[in-house]
Every structure is written in C-alpha cells, then in structure tokens.
C-alpha cells in the first residue's frame, strides 16, 4: 500500500514590471487645447493690420490708429508678463492660466462685436462709439498674450516625457505663430470689402467660443502621475509653496537668470532675433511664417531623438547659419544703403524664396532655445526662463516698430547685423543639460530602489510607458 506523499512547491514571488514614469494619452488633448487657444489669441491680435485700408474706411479711423490696435500687443504684454509668471507658479497654476486665457479671449472677441450690434456704420456717431470697444478688445487680447506664450515650456515639462518635450514646446509655439500666418490670408479673404469686417469679427468670436468651451469642459491641472523627475518637482514643490513671498522669489530667480552668462547670451540672441525678424517679416507675412512652422516642427523631431538630445547648440547654430545665408541672398537681390542696384538678378520668385528660406531656418532654431534655457536654469521653473525670453522678444519688437516704421532699407540692414551677432552669442554660450541629466539620474535611482526593495532582480522596465 502506497503512502500518500505531500509535495510542497516553493515559488518565488513574481515582481510585476513597472515603469519609472507614466505617460497619459490625455496629454495630447491638453496640448491641443492650449495650442488652439494660443492660435486664436494670435489670430485676433492680427485682426486689423492685414485689412488696414478696409478698417480705415469702415470705422473712419486713421492708419496710425490701425497700427496702435496691433501695437497694443507688445505694449500690454510687457507689464502683464510678470503677473502671468506669478499665477503660473501657484498651485494648479497652469489650469488657472489656461482658463483665464480662454475666458479673456472670448470676452475680447465679444467686446469688439458690440458696436456692430448696437449701432450701424451709417450712424454719424459710429466711429466714436466703436473705437473705444476696439481698443478695449485689443487690450484684453494683448493681456492674454503672456498666457499664450509663457507656459509653453512648463506645459511640455509637466505633461510630456523628456524625449517628447522639445516637440511639445515647438508645437505650442508654432501653433501660436500659425495664428498670425492664417490671419494674413483669412482676413483679406473674408473682408473683400469694408462691409464684411463684421463677418471676420464673428468668425473670431466663434473660434474664441469653441476654444473656451474645450478649456472649460476639461483641462486638469496636472497628470495623475508625473512623466519625469522635472515634472515631479513642479507638481510636488510649486514655487508658491516654497516661499510665501512669490514676488520676492520671482525677483531673486530673475536675478539669478540674468547673472548667468550663458542664459543672457542665449536669451539675448533669440529675443533680439525674434523681435527683429518679427518686425521685418511684417511686410512678407504668410510664406515666411508657414516655412518657420515647418522648420520648427522638423528640427524639434530631430532634437528629441536620442542621438541629438544633447546637441541643441549644434542644431541651433546650423539653423541660424542657414538663416544668415538666406538673408544674405535676399540682401544681394534688393537695393540697400550701400548700392542702388541689386547685385544678383532678382525676381519676385527669388526674393520670395529667399525670405521663405530665412523663415524656415529661423523657425527651426528659435523654439530650441526655449528648451536650451530651461535645461540651463533647472531647477528653476521653465516658465521663468520662457517669460524672460518672450519679454525680450516683445521689447525688441516694440523698439523697432517705433524707430524703423516703413524704413525697409534700415530693417534689411538691421536683420543682417542681428543674425550675425546672434550666431556669435550662441557660439559663446555654454550649454548644459541639467534637467535631462536629473531626469535620467532619478529614473535610474527609482529602478535601483525598486530592485533593492523587492530583493530580486525584477523585470523593472527602464523606460516610460503610455498609460491607457
């Protein structure tokens, strides 16, 4: 008779593979909503300049008044930017900024349409009634400018993985610029005569309403789990909780940035070039803007690849050298201060092509500087470095709009001098990748802690996964 035997099975604990950080698909919705709002804000800012003559006739105003409606963008942007930074670095600050941007855009669009509703262009008092509403609408829209520009780097850091951040930042910047590019085309297309200006204002109101609804329906303040170590710092330790005196902290951090030589060189290079290029291409518009968007998106994909994640300096210099060559080609094809007859044979096609190429290379290099200065100044918040940069852009553009209005020879010479100076400044700057290095260090540390805690060499996944 056989005896019953008991078999005891010893099984090792199975450690489930876990990612170091988690990504959520909703990040693309977040980027879309913010970019849509930035697009609408910039489109509304450029409402009247592409249809300047029709605006003068419809509202019975002068050319200088039309220019002022545009220039409110830079004038109001400058004092509102520090307030945006303080709001952005409160707890859940990104959501507060986006909601304020959405509501502000909609109110600005609504205010501009009021004169058309309450009176008629044939009324003798139409101009005096309409003009204050136009100014109020443009000022409100201008106050939304920092809300659409300053958060770009912080949004990409908060929601996207390190290998996606450059693309996310570039997409947000380019969609803002796309608003200006579309404005050059859609405004004259809709306003074929002065009487169609209300149609354009209603289109803007509709876009502002739709984007506002998107933001109000769903825009979470932060992801459920941070996608990187840098995002953890933003979520767990906002600036407002580190120090009750946010304004003092802002001033101290700003001083720290301005006393870092490489930061000053990079922001001076990008800010001066962006402001100068923006003022210069006001006369060329659509082609240059679209080319810049294409260039920015293409180079950002390259910058996010593992091979080029630590090669921002080489990419920026290459793009700016391409921009310089294109500007030189343009200079040799037109009259300048130094010669009355173009040196190279020129046609509308060759001049347009040189300007388009200049926009392509400029747009390719400029967004990379946002990421470069965020890397350089880490652990300071990305919104601070971006705020200083966009402030520099607006100050430069505002100065040039006053000192060189309609002086194309002077602007042509200035943009050539500026691009050469900017290349030199970027070459002199020392690039560092503090944020990327810290992300990698923290990821490896999490893996090690998990292995030591389990007591086994578990299949810990050493990457970042998408969470459904």
Which domains does the chain possess? 26-221 (1.20.1250.20), 254-457 (1.20.1250.20)
Dihedral angle at the C-alpha atoms of 288, 293, 298, 303, nearest 10 degrees? 110
Tokens describing residue 216: 């109000």
- What whole-number distance in Å separates Cα of residue 426 and Cα of residue 317? 7
Task: Give residue 282's pLDDT.
Answer: 65
Task: Give residue 380's pLDDT.
Answer: 86
For residue 336, what are the contacts with CB-CB under 8 A and spacing of at least 6?
Answer: 409, 412, 413
Contact yes or no for 331/416 (Cβ under 8 A): yes
Closest CA to 93 of 394, 436, 382, 392: 382
Task: Give residue 319's pLDDT.
Answer: 95
Task: Give residue 461's pLDDT.
Answer: 46
Tokens describing residue 95: 């959501």
Closest CA to 187 of 173, 199, 175: 199
- What whole-number distance in Å separates Cα of residue 153 and Cα of residue 367? 10
- What whole-number distance in Å separates Cα of residue 320 and Cα of residue 260? 23
Tell me the torsion sign for CA atoms 152, 158, 160, 165: positive
273 burial via Cβ count (<10 Å: 0-12, 13-18, 19+): buried
Task: Give residue 405's pLDDT.
Answer: 57
Conformation bin of residue 191: beta by default, left when phi > 0, alpha when psi is -120 to 50: beta
Closest CA to 176 of 359, 269, 39, 327: 39
pLDDT along the chain (468 residues), means of 10: 45 51 90 96 91 91 88 87 86 92 96 91 88 94 92 92 91 90 89 92 96 95 87 74 65 89 92 82 73 91 88 94 93 78 81 89 92 89 87 81 66 88 94 86 74 52 53
- Decide: helix, strand or coil at residue 1: coil
Task: Give residue 383's pLDDT.
Answer: 85
- DSSP letters for 103-122: HHHHHHHHHHHHHHHHS-TT
Contact yes or no for 150/85 (Cβ under 8 A): yes
Write the CA distances from 279 to 7, 55, 272, 401, integer angstroms: 83, 21, 11, 7
Tokens 């953890």 label which residue? Answer: 232
Residues across the chain: 468
pTM: 0.85
- What whole-number distance in Å separates Cα of residue 396 and Cα of residue 160? 31
Task: Give residue 411's pLDDT.
Answer: 78
Task: Give residue 324's pLDDT.
Answer: 95
End-to-end CA distance of the chain: 58
23 forms beta bridges with 466
Task: Give residue 462's pLDDT.
Answer: 45
């Amino acid at each position: 008779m056989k005896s019953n035997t008991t078999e005891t099975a010893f099984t090792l604990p199975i450690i489930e593979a876990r990612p170091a950080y988690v990504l959520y698909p909703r990040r693309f919705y977040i980027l879309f909503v913010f970019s849509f709002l930035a697009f609408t804000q910039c489109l509304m800012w450029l409402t009247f300049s592409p249809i300047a003559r029709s605006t003068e006739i419809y509202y019975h105003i002068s050319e200088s008044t039309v220019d002022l409606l545009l220039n409110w963008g830079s004038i109001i942007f400058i004092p509102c930017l520090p307030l945006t930074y303080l709001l952005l670095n409160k707890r859940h600050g990104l959501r507060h900024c986006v909601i304020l941007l959405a509501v502000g855009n909609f109110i600005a669009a609504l205010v501009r349409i009021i004169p058309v509703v309450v009176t008629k262009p044939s009324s003798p008092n139409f101009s005096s009634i309409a003009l204050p509403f136009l100014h109020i609408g443009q000022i409100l829209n201008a106050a939304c400018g920092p809300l659409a520009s300053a958060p770009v780097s912080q949004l990409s850091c908060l929601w996207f993985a390190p290998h996606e951040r450059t693309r996310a930042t570039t997409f947000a910047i380019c969609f803002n610029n796309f608003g200006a590019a579309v404005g050059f085309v859609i405004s004259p297309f809709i306003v074929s005569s002065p009487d169609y200006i209300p149609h354009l204002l209603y289109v803007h109101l509709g876009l502002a309403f739709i984007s506002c609804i998107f933001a109000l329906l769903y825009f979470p303040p932060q992801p459920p789990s941070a996608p990187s170590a840098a995002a953890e710092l933003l979520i767990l330790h906002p600036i407002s909780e580190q120090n009750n005196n946010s304004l003092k902290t802002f001033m101290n951090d700003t001083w720290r940035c301005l006393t870092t030589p490489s930061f000053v060189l990079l922001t001076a290079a990008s800010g001066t070039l962006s402001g100068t290029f923006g003022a210069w291409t006001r006369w060329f518009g659509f082609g240059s803007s679209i080319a810049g968007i294409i260039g920015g998106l293409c180079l950002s994909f390259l910058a996010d690849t593992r091979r080029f994640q630590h090669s921002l300096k080489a990419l920026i210099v290459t793009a700016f050298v391409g921009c310089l060559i294109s500007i030189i080609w343009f200079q040799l094809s037109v009259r300048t201060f130094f010669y009355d007859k173009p040196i190279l044979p020129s046609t509308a096609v060759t001049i347009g092509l040189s300007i388009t190429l200049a926009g392509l290379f400029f747009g390719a290099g400029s967004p990379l500087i946002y990421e470069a200065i965020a890397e350089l100044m880490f652990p300071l918040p990305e919104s601070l470095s971006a705020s200083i940069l966009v402030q520099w852009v607006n100050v430069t553009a505002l100065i040039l709009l006053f000192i060189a209005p309609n002086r194309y020879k002077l602007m042509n010479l200035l943009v050539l001098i500026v691009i050469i100076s900017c290349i030199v400044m970027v070459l002199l700057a020392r690039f560092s990748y503090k944020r990327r290095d810290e992300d990698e260090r923290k990821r490896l540390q999490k893996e090690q802690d998990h292995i030591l805690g389990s007591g086994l060499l578990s299949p810990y996944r050493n990457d970042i996964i998408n969470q459904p």
